[in-house]
Amino acid sequence: MTDYQTRRFFAASNSCRGFCNYYGDIFTDERTDRLYIIKGGPGTGKSHFMKEVARYAYTRGYRITEYACSSDPHSLDGILLSKVGAPTWGLLDGTAPHVREPALPGAKEEIINLGAFWDGNRLAGQRAVIRSLGEAKAAAYGRAYAYLAACGEADRVADSFLAGGVREDKIRALAGRILRDQPCGKAFSAVPALRRAVSMTGTCCLHTFEAEAHAAGGTILCLTDYYGIGYCVMAALLALSKEKSLSVLVSYDPVFPHKIDGLYYPDTNLCVLLGHAELPENAASRIISLRRYVDPEALRAVRGELRHAGGMRDYLAESALHELSAAAKYHFELEKIYAAAMDFRAKEAFTQSFCEELFWK
């Protein structure tokens, strides 16, 4: 499912601040009528369960918002199912590292326990192996997060060198021009919808913003970054969006979650991207160079330091990816062990009955 009826983002990231989870801003009371929290070990089919529910909902005209796993983009962390005149359902993976427990059990949330379909005795026989793989995976993630934390410090150093050369007045003026034709809204909302992830299988970028803007006849603006100036423009755009009470989807940088790398305005289908754009054929797009928004004299004095800090940042990010790749080996071995202990026939029968009951309501 890759058409306009289905959109795909990330709901978390492996970042310089550790694991950064946006569940609390996405699966809110205002955005869901009922929430299903899925529990189970690796390889028990949590992601497949959500994909099957989404496929069932798709055939009944629901719009699907998929939230891919930031560590394994082929898997899902959650889905939202919406349709005019019908309740909005949310399903999410409630296991570590994005643990979620019911706040209003039964009244708002339900727990789906896929552990009901595994052979506990078989898993108990593999206890030592499971513990060993889990500890090795946690150690690899620990090293990855240490590298990402150092990456964040290198980025902070780079920002400190750049600060004196930023032409903030021109950046605010640019933000004003970009949003000039956006009519003021009724209430400001900024919902996380991450485009990118630093995962166990490498870096990944989803192109939902530009695809959706193009499908709806909107405009795509691509900012060509210049030593991090693009993040300043994005911050100015979000501040102005709040002033104008606009509704916006916000893509936070996966490594630096205090920075923004994409904005999408669903009411007018305006898309503003910082790097990593994939423009559809014949898309209404424009490229904006940010060179003029830095004082050239101030930049000339610190260009060497900026390049050095940027090089260190890139090296540390690559080191983090190496450790995440090591974690993948242990993670997928754990998935095999749990999958072998599952009664998937019974689980799929449960999935079918769950879908029939959910969409009958």
- pLDDT tens for 177-196 read 999 999 999 999 999 999 99
Q: What is the mean pLDDT of residues 312-332?
A: 97
Between the alpha carbon of residue 26 and those of residues 38, 57, 236, the distances in Å are 16, 19, 23
Q: What is the mean pLDDT of residues 213-224?
A: 95
Conformation bin of residue 275: beta by default, left when phi > 0, alpha when psi is -120 to 50: left
- Cβ neighbours around 8 below 10 Å, total: 20
- Cβ neighbours around 87 below 10 Å, total: 12
Looking at the predicted structure, is the pLDDT value of residue 360 above 60? Answer: yes
No. of H helices and E strands in the chain? 9, 16
Largest CA distance in the chain: 70
Confidence of residue 361 (pLDDT cuts 50, 70, 90): low
Q: What is the pLDDT of residue 241?
A: 98
DSSP 166: B
Peptide bond into 192 cis (omega under 30): no
pLDDT digits (tens, 9 = 90+) for 146-179: 999 999 999 999 999 999 899 999 999 999 999 9
Report how far residue 47's alpha carbon sits from residue 96's, in angstroms, rounded to the nearest whole number: 14
Report how far residue 214's alpha carbon sits from residue 218's, in angstroms, rounded to the nearest whole number: 5
pLDDT digits (tens, 9 = 90+) for 67-101: 999 999 999 999 999 999 999 999 999 999 999 99
Kindly report which listed range (93-107, 116-130, 231-245) carries the lowest average pLDDT score. 93-107
Edge-to-edge, what's the strand order for the sheet holding 270-274?
A: 189-192, 247-252, 260-265, 270-274, 219-224, 285-289
Looking at the predicted structure, is the pLDDT value of residue 5 above 80? Answer: no
Could you tell me which of 195, 200, 211, 172 has the C-alpha nearest to residue 275? 195
209 by Cβ neighbours in 10 Å (0-12 / 13-18 / 19+) ranks as buried
- Mean pLDDT over each residue of the chain, to the nearest integer: 95
Q: What is the pLDDT of residue 2?
A: 43
pLDDT digits (tens, 9 = 90+) for 286-306: 999 999 999 999 999 999 999
Question: Euclidean distance between the first and final Cα of the chain, in Å?
Answer: 24
Q: What is the mean pLDDT of residues 26-36?
A: 94
Q: Using an 8 Å Cβ cutoff, are 222 and 289 in contact? A: no
Q: What is the pLDDT of residue 1?
A: 38
- Rounded percentage of the chain residues whose pLDDT exceeds 90: 93
Could you tell me which of 54, 61, 56 has the C-alpha nearest to residue 85? 61
Q: What is the pLDDT of residue 164?
A: 87
Q: Are strands 247-252 and 189-192 parallel, antiparallel or unpaired?
A: parallel
Confidence of residue 139 (pLDDT cuts 50, 70, 90): very high
Edge-to-edge, what's the strand order for the sheet holding 63-68?
A: 6-10, 63-68, 76-82, 89-93, 34-39, 109-113
Predicted model pTM: 0.95
